[in-house]
Structure 1
Amino acid sequence: MPHPNPHGLADQITRQLAQLTDHLAQLPAQQANALIARVIDPEHGILGRVTQLVITGSYFAKDQAERGVLPAEVWLALGRAANELHDIGLDLDEQADALAAVSTRLATAAAQPTAAAPLVVRRRR
């Protein structure tokens, strides 16, 4: 059954995503990692749902472009966005286990400082 006001639904979801972002910024590490893992879940997470939304928009834009209502560039741009989001989702899905493991480890381990891992390796000259 279609939502009686899809624009209102989109606005409501946008507000809720902003609230979720604010909450994420304030969560302790364990909860933040678990939330991120949920968000990037390819089947049930927000990223997967947004990807599906863009894919559906691409199908709509293709139909509209074939009818001459929309420029073909709109359909192509939505198709590229859908492909990029899908690829990003695949890349992030590979990291889901690491996020879950860190969340579990943080829940069971005492608060001990850990050594930071270097994110940039510099070449020696």
Structure 2
Amino acid sequence: MSHPAPCPVELADDITRRLGQLADHLSQLPPPQAARVIARILDPDAGVLGGITHLVITGSVFAKDQAERGLLPPEVWLALGRASNELHDIALDLDEHQDTLRQVGTQPSTTAAKPPVPAPLVVRRRR
């Protein structure tokens, strides 16, 4: 027997609650496991970020249709369009680090013979 589709608002609330739980778990995981979870979250095809980007794109399509009918101000559609473009760009920026996160996530959690060397953090932005 199939389950009835949940109310979309309740589904959104449940997803939001579960994302909070995921963040709480992530903050307590050992580094290799946290790296695996982050890599999964950032997966552009099957990850949370890809899913959220898809939702915002879908919202932008809806808002465009409603703006064309005069039911929403065009600024709503433009804002959602910008947000979907930004999320897409962020996903592309993060995608280049997927292999590194996966690699860190598969390393054994035992102490290495040569401890890692801390790297100075430098902020670089591409745009």
Q: C-alpha displacement at 1:119, in angstroms?
A: 1.0
Query: Following TM superposition, where does structure 1 have runs of at least 4 consecutive aligned residues deviating by more than 4 angstroms?
Result: none
C-alpha distance in 2 between matches for 1:119 and 1:59: 39
Counterpart for residue 111 of structure 2: 111
**Paired letter, 1:110:** T
**Paired letter, 1:52:** H
1:72-87 → structure 2 map (5 Å cutoff): 72-87=74-89
Q: C-alpha displacement at 1:68, in angstroms?
A: 0.5
Counterpart for residue 101 of structure 1: 103
Counterpart for residue 88 of structure 1: 90
C-alpha distance in 2 between matches for 1:99 and 1:4: 34
C-alpha distance in 2 between matches for 1:15 and 1:4: 15
Q: Runs of 5+ in structure 2 lacking a partner?
A: none
C-alpha distance in 1 between matches for 2:77 and 2:122: 38
Per-residue CA deviations over 1:47-81 (Å, capped at 9, x if unaligned) read 00000000000000000000000000000000000
Checking the alignment, whether the CA contact within 8 Å between 1:3 and 1:9 is kept in structure 2 is no
C-alpha distance in 1 between matches for 2:122 and 2:90: 22
**Paired letter, 1:27:** L
Query: Of residues 25, 31, 35 in structure 1, which corresponds to 2:37?
Result: 35
Gap change, CA 1:103 and 1:74, over 3 Å in 2:
same
Q: C-alpha displacement at 1:120, in angstroms?
A: 3.5
C-alpha distance in 2 between matches for 1:120 and 1:8: 42
Q: C-alpha displacement at 1:110, in angstroms?
A: 2.8
TM-score, structure 2 as length reference: 0.88
Instruction: Report the aligned-residue RMSD.
Output: 1.8
| Aligned length in residues | 119
Give the 3-state SS of the residue equivalent to 2:44 in structure 1: coil
Q: C-alpha displacement at 1:4, in angstroms?
A: 3.9
1:63-78 → structure 2 map (5 Å cutoff): 63-78=65-80
Q: C-alpha displacement at 1:103, in angstroms?
A: 1.4
